[in-house]
Structure 1
Amino acid sequence: MSGIDITHPHSLPQAEARSAVEDVARLLAERFDMKYAWNGDTLNFNRSGVDGAIALLPDSLHVTAKLGFLLSAMRGPIEAEIRRVLSERF
């Protein structure tokens, strides 16, 4: 299994950062049929071929994901898109 591990800084208040993560998760859920749920300050998400989490820290986000066999071939573009969205939102 291939993985993604990204730490992205942010300077938003915790509530604003949580709302932004929730917005991104909602869009991903609609676009890719992902399920997601908060567990404390960590948003866990999954769908067939992907299992991951976004940990909301006071000054950064930590995104981790395990990619299944088929999606591991697209790891580069997936990681690039995650970084782009994080840069736009945070």
Structure 2
Amino acid sequence: MATIEIRRQHALTKDEAKKRAEDLARGMEDKLGIRWRWDGDLIRFDAPGGAAKGTTGLVRVEASAVQVEIDLPFLLKAMKGMVESKVNEKLEAVLSKA
């Protein structure tokens, strides 16, 4: 497994950060076929099929930061850099919106 860990600071309320994290999860559900669920302040996700098949991870929403951890399966290991870049872009866009 290739693991991606990203931590991004934000200036939002925790509730707003959770709302935006959920919006992002819904978008990934539509695009990549991931399944996700809330577990307290965590979104846990996995991809049972599709382009991201075998991927698992979580999004931890804190008062001033969001942390993303993604475990890529062996077949997607070569795409780690691209996936990490896309996640960074999405987090920047989602957490910096006014």
Q: Fold match, TM over 0.5?
A: yes
Instruction: Note the C-alpha offset of 1:70.
Output: 1.1
| Distance (whole Å) between structure 2 residues aligned to residue 86 and residue 24 of structure 1 | 9
1:18-33 pair list within 5 angstroms = 18-33=18-33
Aligned residues: 90
Instruction: Note the C-alpha offset of 1:89.
Output: 1.1
| Distance (whole Å) between structure 1 residues aligned to residue 94 and residue 29 of structure 2 | 17
- 1:82 alignment partner in structure 2: 87
> 5+ unaligned residues in a row in structure 2: which ranges?
48-52
- 2:7 alignment partner in structure 1: 7
Q: TM-score, normalised by structure 2?
A: 0.89
Is 2:77 aligned against 1:72? yes
Instruction: Note the C-alpha offset of 1:77.
Output: 0.4
> 5+ unaligned residues in a row in structure 1: which ranges?
none
| Distance (whole Å) between structure 2 residues aligned to residue 33 and residue 10 of structure 1 | 27
Deviation beyond 6 Å, 4+ runs, structure 1:
none
- 1:52 alignment partner in structure 2: 57
| Distance (whole Å) between structure 2 residues aligned to residue 37 and residue 79 of structure 1 | 22
Answer 1 or 2: which has greater strand percent.
1
* 1:40 aligned partner, one-letter code: G
| Distance (whole Å) between structure 2 residues aligned to residue 77 and residue 4 of structure 1 | 11
| Distance (whole Å) between structure 2 residues aligned to residue 60 and residue 25 of structure 1 | 17
Instruction: Note the C-alpha offset of 1:16.
Output: 0.7
| Distance (whole Å) between structure 1 residues aligned to residue 5 and residue 69 of structure 2 | 5
